[in-house]
Amino acid sequence: MDILAGRTVIVMGVANKNSIAWGCARAIMACGGQVVLTYQNERLRQSLLRFVAPDQPMVQCDVADEENIDAAFTTIRERYGAVHGLVHAIAYADKESLEGDVLQVSKAGYNLAQDISAYSLLAVTRSAVRLFPALRSVLTMTYFGSTHVIPNYNIMGVAKRRWRPMCAMWRRSWVRSTYGLTPFRRGP
């Protein structure tokens, strides 16, 4: 089944074999597509080297740094050419912000979760739309905890909740364009 032959997809967020992003990457490759993985830092690169193919395209990208996003996507364009799709499977909150009493979440912890888990979707898509004219699809991940109170999910639920109006606004502004954004919910 080669329905993605000739297509290149950036997959962001593989940390290990259990990462949702790795499942996406394998599915894309099984459909004949080329996958370019991005990894946050050297520690994550070492983790990826344990299980990806030796010739797997990979580029470093920390989404907390918008200049790093532009630099990573510019490198991808130079090395691999046109990109047709993007998978954003990235989220982060510090342990203290996920556990215990939500009233104790610090401003720094709240902002970090929003920055990495919600804002980064806008940041990477803005950069990708600018650098990859052939981009047609962006896939991202949300969760049941965005609409229901789940113990130990705390502030991450707020970050995921933010995506709902964001995706709606996005669809409105892109309705006349050829792009698509798909928030995908895993689990219940």
Ligand X SMILES: NC(=O)c1ccc[n+]([C@@H]2O[C@H](COP(=O)([O-])OP(=O)(O)OC[C@H]3O[C@@H](n4cnc5c(N)ncnc54)[C@H](O)[C@@H]3O)[C@@H](O)[C@H]2O)c1
Instruction: Considering only the stretches 10-18, 28-36, 77-85, 96-104, report the one whose residues sit in contact with ligand X under the rule CB under 6 A.
Output: 10-18
> In angstroms, what is the minimal distance from the CB of 35 to ligand X?
14
- 119 catalytic? Reply is no
- Binding of ligand X by 85 (CB under 6 A): no
Contacts 24+ apart (CB under 8 A), 59-67: 61/12, 63/12, 63/90, 63/116, 63/120, 63/123, 63/124, 64/115, 64/116, 64/120, 66/123, 66/127
| List of residues 6+ apart from 121 with CB closer than 8 A | 88, 138, 140, 163, 166
User: Which of the residues 168 through 187 are near ligand X (CB under 6 A)?
Assistant: 186-187
- Binding of ligand X by 146 (CB under 6 A): no
- 179 catalytic? Reply is no
Enumerate the β-bridge partners of residue 137: 85, 180
Query: Which of 133, 151 has the CB closer to ligand X?
Result: 151
Considering only 34, 77, 80, 92, the residue that binds ligand X (CB under 6 A) is 92
Enter the tokens of residue 162: 């933010």
Considering only 4, 10, 11, 14, the residue that binds ligand X (CB under 6 A) is 14
Query: Which of 4, 21 has the CB closer to ligand X?
Result: 21
- Binding of ligand X by 141 (CB under 6 A): yes
Query: Which of 32, 164 has the CB closer to ligand X?
Result: 164
Query: Which of 4, 37 has the CB closer to ligand X?
Result: 37
DSSP class per residue in 99-161: SS-GGG--HHHHHHHHIIIIIHHHHHHHHHHHH-TT--EEEEEEEGGGTS--TTTHHHHHHHH
User: Which of the residues 43 through 72 are near ligand X (CB under 6 A)?
Assistant: 44, 62-64
Q: Which residues are catalytic?
A: 143, 153
